[in-house]
Chain A
Amino acid sequence: MISKYVIIGGGVASTGCIEGIRKVDPSGGITLITAEPYLTYCRPLISYLLEGKTTLEKMLYRPESFYEKNGVRVMLATKSERIDPERKTVMLSDGTSIGYEKLLCATGSVPFVPPFEGLDTVKSKFSFLTLDDALELERAITPESRVFIVGAGLIGLKCAEGIHGRVGSITVCDLAPQVLASILDSDSANIVEETLQSHGINLILGDTVAKFEENVAILQSGASVEFDVLVLAVGVRPNVALVRDAGGKIGRGIIVDDTMLTSLPDVYAAGDCTESFDITSSSSRVLAILPNAYMQGECAGINMAEGYSSYANAVPMNSVGFFGLHIATAGTYTGELHEIRTLGCLKKLYVNEGRLVGFIIIGDTTRAGIYTSLIRNKTPLDEIDFELIKNYPSLMAFSGNSRLKMLGGVV
């Protein structure tokens, strides 16, 4: 079988790709192959599902009719085993293969599980990445469960929030001396830690598991944690196997150019499995965030359909809340720090070479997008009244003429 466009992976990058292709090519056949048994759903929502803030139906990223409307053949629960870039085919687990003209590899990431000693003795252990992970975890927990989460990153903490109130106790440990080490500094992490603790979540920081003995984790410090359910949320790794095995270039993730083309002809990649060029640190990084996945997917789709699109201004960013406390971050935290503390809000703005390169806001994140846009557009701060909007972001910072352009027309 041959399909003009083949997409491996059913995450958000695949939807971006479909919508990208359809912007240029209204009819070319698209086949979507996903190992999961579900249509594309919002992965970051799995914690909200456990929390009861969304439902399985509402978690669908696009309505069911989306695929038919866009002429997409969907192959659920189908694993792609191998890409043959010479013959332009994808080998599937059932032994069949699909030929492609253009291929998108959007295989996302896989949980990284350190080789803890005795992990195999733990009966009830889970990752927290996919919908199935969440559903399995949900089945395992009881109101009395003592849940132990290894990893105080976004996944671990969102998991904690998701099951909060449905279990007996939650303990989160992390080797880092703070929570959310990948997006916060210790100052701002403190505020989050206080919020978590005030909701009864036990935090063990600067310490991690040395070994497991069935229902007990022995920590490196010698302390021990007894638990009924273990969640491993240490981290994720880009799922690069298909492209790597086909001979594609791999760095930390799959290496793509700014049209999302890999080093293999007609093979594109997008989403968490790739490296992006982070304009705020001028370096290639894996930006495993949903907006990035969509935009890369869309860019790939347009280029696969022989339109032209370039995605060259990736900015790491996160907006996340824990128990009503909001966190908005973007960019990198280097350069001159402008710190503003107001009642219930901490704001850190980082300025480097006359441009805003990053920020951390804990609390009121109103209009943070104006900051993000300054970062994304690399706006020279001497062209705006930066002083004016340190406290409160506003388009007032721009000159009347720029504002006219911004608000008077179409972007």
Chain B
Amino acid sequence: MKRVYVNEKWCLGCRLCEYNCAFANSGEKDMVKALKGKKIYPRIRVDEHDGITFAVSCRHCEDPICVKSCIAGALSKEGDGMVKLDRTKCVGCLTCVLVCPYGAVVQDERGAALKCELCLTNTAGYPACVKGCPNAAIVYEERD
């Protein structure tokens, strides 16, 4: 399946991906309206240390431990391979956070789980982090 991959060699740590993610998932048409004066809860997060920067979002594992661990049956592996979170079922126990080896499940403002769904479930239609990366450090592609 097509996944979002980050090449840390080209990641600048500018964090535009975080803002583009938050915007894409806001449901708003204008970034200022969506994000101005708000704390953002992006599903992709940039780590920075000692000159190294990289972004991490859900890997959509073949055999996702988060799905197996979800106590609410809110996480599922879809037919296309995407790991999807039904936020109406999530009760915020954060077991997924406890098991994700990538630290890729984050929390929203209510403390419930939040994760990358490749912008396939929002209005962006194509991963906004990829589209907005100024250095092509984030790509959306099929790999073996």
Contacts and interface: CB of A to CB of B under 8 A. Distances in A.
Q: Per the CB under 8 Å rule, do A and B touch in the complex?
A: yes
Interface residues of A, number: 50
Given A403-B8, A407-B5, A366 B106 contact: yes
Contact of B101 (A328, A369, A388): A369
A294 interface: yes
B49 A388 contact: yes
A394 B98 contact: no
A362 to B, nearest CB: 13
15 contacts: A58-B72, A58-B88, A58-B89, A60-B73, A62-B73, A291-B68, A291-B69, A295-B68, A317-B98, A317-B99, A328-B98, A365-B94, A369-B105, A403-B8, A407-B5
B56 A407 contact: yes
Chain A CB within 10 Å — which of B96, B101, B111, B143 has the most? Answer: B101
Size range of the chain B interface in the assembly: 35 or more
B102 A406 contact: yes
A23 to B, nearest CB: 10
Contact of B93 (A60, A321, A324, A373): A321
Contacts of A295: 68
Contact of A411 (B56, B61, B91, B95): B61
A369 B54 contact: no
Contact of B91 (A54, A324, A370): A54
Contacts of B5: 407-408
A400 interface: yes
Nearest to B3: A410
A62 B67 CA distance: 12
A61 B105 CA distance: 20
> Which 3 pairs show the lowest CB-CB distances between chains A and B?
A367-B103, A373-B101, A291-B69
B130 to A, nearest CB: 14
Contact of A291 (B56, B65, B89): B65
Interface of A: 16, 42, 44-45, 48, 53-54, 58-62, 290-291, 294-295, 298, 317-321, 324, 326, 328, 330, 365-370, 372-373, 376-377, 388, 393-396, 400, 403-404, 406-411
Contacts of A366: 97, 103, 106-107
A53 to B, nearest CB: 5
Contact of A44 (B49, B65, B93): B93
B105 to A, nearest CB: 7
Given A16-B68, A372-B99, A400-B52, A48 B91 contact: yes
B52 to A, nearest CB: 7
